[in-house]
Chain A
Amino acid sequence: MTDEELIRRWREKRDDSDFRELADRHFDQVRWLVLCAVRDNAMTEDLVQEIFFKVARKLDRFEGKAAFSTWLYRIALNTVNTHQTSRRDRKTQPLADDDPPQADSADQPDRAAECRELDAAIRDAVRDLPDSLRNAISLTAMNGFSPTEAAEIENCTLSSMYRRLHDARKILKERLEKFL
């Protein structure tokens, strides 16, 4: 069943399980999008919850002109950008980076430590990118959108999206050179 069919069914029956299914499908990717931008783990969870809350509130007005995922990620990016802007306005920085809880780090401690180091480096490198570059790379490389879809979500031209991707990869390559 497609997202759009699920939404139609949810509108008819108002069944929580349909909304849960919809949230479940996109949860990891939305969370990852937020995680790329926010250092604080608790704030990540709050923002993810806020994004899905907004989605639930606006779902009745979803017209289906664009794909649901495009619509959802636009809401997600707007929410994250608003948060980032207000954080910059307040000029507050968290003291330390949070390690998010991970699914597969329990059984091999050495490997887990290496992974944590790598993850921290990647997260820092991605978070330090300018918003537009970070959104471009997280939408395409991590969330699997094509550059065309990413350009639609970000409301920019395709050539601009390619340029952003090129710039983002160039910066990441420099910062993550030792892991490549």
Chain B
Amino acid sequence: MSDDRDIDNLLQMQYHRSRLPQETRAAMLDRIVQSSRAEPSAKTVGKATGNPPWLQMATAAAMVLLVGLILFDAARDHKKIEFSDHTRFLAANFEARIEAWPTGTGKRYFTR
């Protein structure tokens, strides 16, 4: 047990001796702060592209407007849709098949 303490003391002494001189340490800390400065804020406020915030806001607004216009246009077109004969035939067949399901006679409805 005392041997364990001797080893630990030896290691602790070396830890204290290996500390950097104050100026070197301060310079390294400066470099650490400098190199880590940009990164965290980039993730949180979206500066990763390097564009100014006003440009990012304008881009986001334009995207929202564009998507809105596309959706509005699609909704307007939706009212003009007319089902083709084929679509109506498929729908009628499907309906008939469902109706005939319990009797198992659905197949006859699949002829035009």
Which B residues are in CB contact (< 8 Å) with A103? 17, 19-22
A56 to B14, CA, bound (A): 29
What would be 5 A-B contacts, judged by CB atoms less than 8 Å apart? Answer: A20-B29, A28-B15, A123-B14, A137-B11, A176-B10
B35-43, B63-71, B84-92: which one contacts chain A? B35-43
Q: Which of A47-55, A82-90, A151-159 contacts B (4 or more CB under 8 A)?
A: A47-55
At the interface, yes or no: A23 with Cβ under 8 Å from chain B? yes
Q: Which range contains the number of A residues in contact with the other chain?
A: 35 or more
Task: Give B contacts to A, CB under 8 Å.
Answer: 3-4, 6-8, 10-12, 14-15, 17-22, 24-25, 28-29, 31-33, 35-37, 39-41, 43-44
| Contact B20–A100 (Cβ < 8 Å) | yes
B70 to A: closest C-beta gap in Å: 34
The SS class assigned to the B binding surface is: helix
> Told that A16-B33, A101-B21 touch, could you supply 9 new A-B pairs with CB distance under 8 A?
A24-B29, A27-B29, A28-B20, A49-B28, A49-B32, A56-B40, A115-B17, A118-B14, A119-B17
Contact status A100-B12, CB under 8 Å: no
Flag if B36 contacts A57 (CB, 8 Å). Answer: yes
Given contacts A24-B29, A102-B18, A142-B15, contact A19 B36 (CB under 8 A): yes
A169 CB contact (under 8 Å) in B7, B19, B35, B39 = B7
Q: Which of B6, B19, B43 has the most CB of A within 10 A?
A: B19
Residues of B within 8 A of A14 (CB): 40-41
Closest to B37 in A: A16
